[in-house]
Amino acid sequence: MISGPSLALALYGPNAISHWRTLLGPTKAYKSKYSHPHCLRARYGLGDTRNGFHGSDSPESAKRELGLVFDGWDTEWWRLQREQEKLPSDQDGKLNPLGF
């Protein structure tokens, strides 16, 4: 799945999956260069199989994939901590300019 250094993110918020996937653009990087030239895959993808980014397609997929990337990730615990404001948040929007 990866061929070099990677940065893994766990995004949280209303419609986080759809917002992230919109920023990524189509899976096929070559096609996205024409259809969505400003998306991340069009700008940074090297090809259709090396498109540079991944975004889960559903909450269920995200839960499974987070468990693979972050060994033992407990999605439910993290969500509850976040909702109860026990985890740091970005009140001023400085760390999260995308709004999710």
Q: So which residues are the catalytic ones?
A: 54
Distance set, CA 66 to CA 24, 33, 42, 63, 100 (Å): 18, 28, 25, 5, 18
Alpha helices (H) along 6-98: 16-24, 29-35, 40-44, 59-69, 75-83
